Structure 1
Amino acid sequence: MAGQCIVVTSGKGGVGKTTITANVGYALASLGKKVLLIDGDIGLKNLDSVLGLERRVVYDLFDVITNRIELEDALVKDKRLPDNLFLLAASQSHFKEDVPEEKFSEVVEEAKALFEYVLVDSPAGIEHGFRISSRFADRAVVVTVPEVPSIRDVDRVVGLLENYRVSVDGVVVNRLNQTLVRQGNMLSPQDILDLLEIPLLGVVPEDTLIVQAVNQGDPLVYKYPNSAVARAYTNIAHKLLDPEYVPQETKKSRGFWSLFGFLRGEG
């Protein structure tokens, strides 16, 4: 199996990378793909909590890179999709600088031999943690919220990814409030695309269901599968599998807001 490593990154913290990694990863697994999620945020460790797997973590990434345990023995199987979805948790007792780049590279390569898709949840910033999470990826998903500082950070991150020769699949616009956009109080997806000049991978609407799902320890795609947000995550997963993918409803719709509504999962 020759898998692909996709890093989910942004530069700025607090934009929803971990939630997107968990939900898009779950969506890919539900589409029949064998998926490993790696928490690259050494020292903070949030991906296991979003997935509701924190109590089942015995070994972590640091145990693997120090050869304390084999990769396969460190993985946590998600019982909701036991054949397809696995987690490699981050260590909470170490720092990002404790992870040698070559060791992380070895973990990624071994994981790609076992899984079709390896999604790495990158830490905030553009320092060591970002570098090791991104340098060895094949592809990247960049996440932003409709705020100018976040978009500027993404622009910087895209330049770094290009230097690493990592292919950027596109940007996910998170927490979009269409009402505020129409009132002129929030940047629209098109405004963001004009600033970044990279493809749009998806738009995730602002929704309290996201917080509810996180607090309940379940991916939203699993907990609220018929919600607009869940459909948005699933559409992103489809586009990662096929860049030309367009939801059937979008093909029948017309107009700017119809298009972005369906990218968000509405309709």
Structure 2
Amino acid sequence: MGARIIVVTSGKGGVGKTTSTANIAVALAKSGKKVVAVDADIGLRNLDVVMGLENRVVFNFIDVIEKNCRLNQALVRDKRVENLFLLPAAQTRTKDAVNTEQMMELCALLRPDFDFVLLDCPAGIEGGFKNAAAGADEALVVTTPEVPSVRDADRIIGMLESMGKSPIRLIINRFRANMVQDGDMLAREDILDILSIKLIGIVPEDDGVIKSSNRGEPLTFGLNSPAAQAYANIAERLQGRDVPLMELDVGGARGFLSQIKRFFRLR
């Protein structure tokens, strides 16, 4: 059957979508799967930096689509872990440089040679998102436990459903249990009530994420932080393994939900 092609997306920028893509890709590769992380955010190329591979980029996936190079020439192999590759985005092109049909063609080229293809998709609901998500089978939606982020995730989920992506699963990122307890952040149950999709992982707030992104060393190269373990657990669940969710909730202001439901469409 070839690769499972999974788009990693979010309703708004800055919620950790690219960091999640990089860390999950590393964790899947460490478990023995052949993985390619595709930076589909044309013009804002960041996945290569987060993965620490920016100095090795020669070609990008637009070059592949336009037949300026072969696919294997554009793939960047990560020498730190076996079977992990990056397919970078073009930094000097706009999001309309690739259309839906071309993205589906690219995914078809990748499918036979990999176990997992992770598409780091542009945030938001514009054409760049639709084009990037076109070739995916499944989706991971990343949100933070904040009302604007969850509201935007709700819109993205509706679009993914209309595109026939299934399953669509949720990653709650930058979770802070103390703020949930104080009623200043949405609890896990609040978010799931609003979005009505399956939760695949909760990633706690972790200063190591910023440090690792700046160094170009995804946390999942090691497992010495809570966020690294959370991403590794997500990779395990993607492979069908029953891994319990980390116990991060210490209670929640469930009453907060009733105050914000008016901001969300009925699902």
Above 0.5 in TM-score?
Answer: yes
- Residue 226 of structure 1 is matched in structure 2 by 224
From 236, 239, 252, the equivalent of 1:238 is: 236
Q: Give the distance between the partners of 1:74 and 1:105, measured in 2 at CA.
A: 17
What per-residue deviation string (whole Å, max 9, x for no partner) do you get for residues 22-49 of structure 1? 0001000001000000001000100000
- Deviation, 1:124, is 1.3
Q: Please say if residues 40 and 132 of structure 2, whose CA atoms lie closer than 8 Å, have aligned partners that are also in contact.
A: yes
**What root-mean-square deviation, in Å, do the aligned CA atoms of Structure 1 and Structure 2 show?**
1.7
Q: Report the more deviating stretch, 166-175 or 42-51.
A: 166-175
1:7 aligns with 2:7: yes
Query: Where has structure 1 moved over 4 Å in runs of 4 or more?
Result: 255-258
Identity of aligned residues (%): 49
* SS at structure 2 position matched to 1:209: helix
Name 1:262's counterpart in structure 2: none
Q: What's the offset of the Cα at 1:256?
A: 6.4
Task: Report the TM-score when normalising by structure 2.
Answer: 0.90
Does structure 2 conserve the Cα–Cα contact (< 8 Å) formed by 1:43 and 1:90?
Answer: yes
Return the alpha-carbon distance in structure 1 between the equivalents of residues 79 and 90 of structure 2: 22
Residue 80 of structure 1 corresponds to which residue in structure 2?
80
Aligned to 1:263: none
Q: How many residues align?
A: 251
Pairwise CA distance, 1:226: 2.1
Question: Which residue identity lines up with residue 131 of structure 1 in the other structure?
Answer: K
Structure 1: 5+ residue stretches without partners: 259-267
1:19 matched to 2:19: yes
Q: d(CA) in 2 for partners of 1:135 and 1:41?
A: 13
Q: Which runs of 5+ in 2 are unaligned?
A: 252-267
Q: Contact 1:158–1:168 at 8 Å: present in 2 too?
A: no
Structure-2 residue corresponding to 1:35: 35
CA contact (8 A) 2:177 2:250 kept: no
In 2, the alpha carbon distance for the partners of 1:143 and 1:17 equals: 6
Q: 1:257 offset after TM fit, Å?
A: 4.7
- What one-letter code is carried by the residue in structure 1 that aligns with 2:4? Q
Could you tell me how far apart the structure 2 residues matched to 1:239 and 1:151 are?
Answer: 22
Letter in 1 for 2:127: H
Are 1:5 and 1:137, in contact at CA under 8 Å, matched by a contact in 2?
yes
- Quote the offset at 1:128 in angstroms: 1.4
TM superposition shift of 1:132: 1.2
Cα distance in 2 between the residues matched to 1:221 and 1:132: 29
Q: CA deviation at 1:4?
A: 1.2
Structure 1 partner of 2:155: 156
* Native 8 Å contact 2:157 2:168 kept in 1: no
SS at match of 1:167: coil
Give the conservation status (yes or no) of the 8 Å contact 1:135–1:161: no
* Aligned partners of 2:181 and 2:250 also within 8 Å: no
Amino acid paired to 2:229 = R
Alignment correspondent of 1:114: 113
